[in-house]
Structure 1
Amino acid sequence: MFKVAVIGASGLLGRAIVRELAAETPWQVVPTAFRHGGPQQSVLDVRDAQAVNAFVEREAPDAIVLAAAERRPDVCEHDPAAARALNVDAVRSVAAAARQHGAWVLSISTDYVFDGTQPPYRIDDTPNPLNAYGRSKLEGEQALLETSDNALVLRLPLLYGPIIGWHESAVTSLVPAIRASAEPGAQAAPMDAWATRYPTFTPDVAFVIRELLLRCADGTPVRDIAQWSGDEPMTKYDIAERIAQALGVEAHLLAQPTPTDATPRPRNCHLDSSRLETLGMGRRTPFDAAIRGVLNAFMKDGAQC
C-alpha cells in the first residue's frame, strides 16, 4: 500500500492534508507532530537530523509531505538562526533521509521568495526575498533541490482554513479586532490597504497535494517547482470587510494606504499557477463561502475572542 508521511500534521495546513488523504484515499498516512502526538501521530522534532533519519528508516514512506516550518515573518526577522533551523536545515535533513530511502518529497514554500514588484510570478522567475522569512524559505528550496532529485517545492501564498485558534492564520487573526471595532463607541481598527494578497484555502491546497501524490503513486511524480494560489486579490482591509460581512457585524475599519509593519513585506507576490493547471490539477473555493464555513465551524465549538 502507498504510504505517505505528513511532517507537521498538527498545523493549519498539515491537518487539512491529513484530513483530505484520510477521507479520499486508501493510503496509509503517517502524521507527525512536534510536541504532542495523538493516537495516530508520531512525535518528531524535524530539526533533529538523526531523529528524522530514524523516522524515515522505520516508517519507509513512499512519499513525504513536509508542512513544518517557521512561517511568522516577524519571528524570522528577530531570530533568523531559529528560522533557518526549521526552514533550511530541517528541509535538508528530510531530503537526505528521503533520498537514502527512495521517497519522493514535497516541501512547502512561500510567495515571499519574491519581492512583489512584478507580479504575477512564474516558477522560473528570479526570486528576490525582502525579509528573513523569504530568504530562509528560498534557502530551503535550494537545500531540497540540491539534496534530492526526486522532490517538489510547492510555493503557496497566504493560507487560511479550519482553525483551532484565531491566531493560526493572518486571515482569521483579524477577527478579534473586527469584532471589537463593532462595539458601541469603539475606535476604528486599522487594516493594511497597501499590500495585495491572494488568500488560499487549505482544503484546496490539500486537494492539490493529493493530486500530486496520486501522480507519485502512479510513478509519474512532479518534480522541481510548482505554485498554487487563490485567484481573488485582496488587501487586509478587503479581507476584514468580507469577514465582517460573514460575521454580520458593522465593523469600523481604517484603511492604511502605506505599509506599517516593522518587517518589510512585498506588495504583490501573485503566484502563477499555470504549471499545475496545465496538468489538470487544482480547485479554488470562493473566499466568501470558505471563510463563512471556517468562522461558523469555529464559533459553533464555543470559541470566544
Structure 2
Amino acid sequence: MFKVAVIGASGLLGRALVRELDAETGWQVVQTAHSRVGPRQVALDVRDAQAVAAFVAREAPDAIVIAAAERRPDVCEHDPAAARALNVDAVRSIATAAKARGAWVLSISTDYVFDGTQPPYLPDAAPNPLNAYGHSKLEGERALLDASDDALVLRLPLLYGPIVDWNESAVTSLVPAIRAAAATAHAAAKPAPMDAWATRYPTFTPDVAVVIRELLTRCADGEAVRGIAQWSGDEPMTKYDIAQRIARALGIEAQLIAQTQPTDATPRPRDCHLDSGRLEALGIGRRTPFDAGIGAVLDAFEREHADKN
C-alpha cells in the first residue's frame, strides 16, 4: 500500500490536500499538525529534527508532502530566524529523514523567490528574492535539493481556498475591509484602499491538491517528478481587482480606492507570474475560475458561520 505523510495538514493547503487524498482508494495517509492537532493527526514540531527523524522512521512513508511553513512576509521580515527554522532547517530535516527512508519528498515554495521584473518565470529562471520570506523559501528549496535527489520543489503563488477564518489567506483577509467599505442602512461606508500596483495570480487550493495528487500518483507508479516545478492560476489581478470581485460575489457595492504605488512596509515583487508548462506538458493540473472558486469559499464559510450562530 502506498503511504503518504502530509506535514502541516491543518493549514490552508494541507486541509485541501487531505480532502483530495481521502478520495484516493488504496492509499494510506498520515497527517501531522503542530498548533491545531485534529483527531486524525499526529502532533509533530517540524523544528525538532529528532522528532522528525523518529516520525519518518516510525511511519515509513513512501512519499512526504511538506505543507508546513511560515508564509507571512511581514512576520518573516521581523523574525527571520523563526522563518528560517520553519522554511529552511525543518525542510532539511524532513528531506534528510526522507532520504534515509527512501521516500520521495515534495516541498511547497513560492513565486516570491523572484523579483517580479521579468515575468513569466520558468522553473530554471534566476531567483532574486526581495524580502526575508522569499530568501527563506529559496534557501529551503536549496536545502531540499541538497539533502535529497528524490525530491521536488513545487512553487505556488497567492493561495485561497476553504478557510477557518478570514485571515487564513491574503485573498479572504480582504473581506472585513470590503464589508466596511459598503454603506448600509445602519452605518456609513469606510472607503478601503487596495493595492493596484502588484499583479497576483490567485490559485485555488483544491486545484493545487489535484496537482499534488497527480504528482503522488506518478511517484506511486515509479515515475516521480524531481527538481523544480510550478503551478499557478492564469487570471492576473491586483488586490484591487480581487476586492472588486469579492464585493460582487458578496452582492455589495464597496467604496474601494486603487493604490497605484506600493505601500507595504515589506518589499514585494510586482509580477512573479509562474510558468506552469512543465506540469502542463505531463498532463497535470486543474484551474477553477476565480469567480467560481471565491464564490464557493465565501458561501461555505458563511453557511458554517451561520450554523454556529
TM-score (normalizing by structure 2): 0.97
1:108 and 2:111 correspond:
no
| Alignment equivalent of 1:199, drawn from 183, 202, 207 | 202
Question: What residue number does 2:152 align with?
Answer: 152
What is residue 288 of structure 2 aligned with on the other side? 285
Map of 2:46 onto structure 1:
46
CA distance in 1, matches of 2:169, 2:37: 22
Quick one: distance in 2 between partners of 1:253 and 1:75?
Answer: 26
Aligned: 1:212 with 2:215: yes
Q: Does 1:63 align with 2:63?
A: yes
Aligned match for 1:228, one of 231, 238, 241: 231
> Aligned partners of 2:125, 2:70: CA distance in 1, in Å?
24
Deviations 1:47-75 (A, max 9, x none): 00000000000000000000000000000
Report the CA distance between 1:250 and its aligned residue. 0.7
1:301 aligned counterpart, secondary structure: helix
Tell me which residue corresponds to 2:139.
Answer: 139
Displacement of 1:24 after TM fit? 3.1
Tell me how far 1:37 sits from its aligned partner. Answer: 2.2
1:279 shift after superposition? 0.4
Structure 1 residue 22, shift from structure 2 partner = 0.3
Q: Quick check: 1:96 aligned with 2:96?
A: yes
Match for residue 254 of structure 2 among 248, 251, 255: 251
What is the CA–CA distance in structure 2 between the aligned matches of 1:54 and 1:79, rounded to whole Å? 28
- Alignment size in residue pairs: 304
Q: Tell me if the contact between 1:174 and 1:240 (Cα under 8 Å) persists in the aligned partners.
A: yes
Which segment is superposed worse, 269-278 or 26-35? Answer: 26-35
C-alpha distance after superposition, 1:76-105 (max 9, x if no partner): 000000000000000000000000010000
User: Residue 186 of structure 1: CA displacement?
Assistant: 1.7
2:301 counterpart letter in structure 1: F
Where 1:183 maps in the other structure, the secondary structure is: coil
Query: Does the residue aligned with 1:174 lie in a helix, a strand or coil?
Result: helix
1:299 alignment partner in structure 2: 302
Q: Partner of 2:129: helix, strand, or coil?
A: coil
CA contact (8 A) 1:35 1:44 kept: no
Secondary structure of 1:302's partner?
helix
Q: Following the alignment from structure 2 to structure 1, what is the Cα–Cα distance between the partners of residues 268 and 231?
A: 20
| Amino acid corresponding to residue 179 of structure 1 in structure 2 | R
Q: TM-score, normalised by structure 1?
A: 0.98
* CA offset digits 1:222-246 (Å, max 9, x no partner): 0000000000000000000000000
Matches within 5 A, 1:121-132: 121-132=121-132
Distance 1:60 1:25 in 2: 19
Q: CA deviation at 1:39?
A: 2.1
Shift of 1:302: 1.7
Task: Note the C-alpha offset of 1:27.
Answer: 0.5
- TM-aligned CA deviation for residue 25 of structure 1: 3.6
CA distance in 2, matches of 1:109, 1:36: 22
Answering whether residue 80 of structure 2 is matched by residue 80 of structure 1, we say: yes
Gaps of 5+ in 1: none
C-alpha deviation, 1:38, in angstroms: 2.1
Local SS of the residue matching 2:23: helix
Deviation of 1:111 after TM superposition, in Å, equals: 0.1
- Aligned partner of 1:162: which letter? P
Tell me, yes or no, if the aligned pair for 1:163 and 1:294 is still in contact at 8 Å.
yes
Rounded to whole Å, the distance in 1 between the matches of 2:262 and 2:229 is 29
CA apart distance, 1:166: 0.2
Alpha-carbon RMSD across the aligned residues, in angstroms, is: 0.9
Q: Report matched runs for 1:10-25 at 5 Å.
A: 10-25=10-25
Aligned equivalents of 1:24, 1:247: Cα separation in 2? 34
Instruction: Name the counterpart of 1:274.
Output: 277
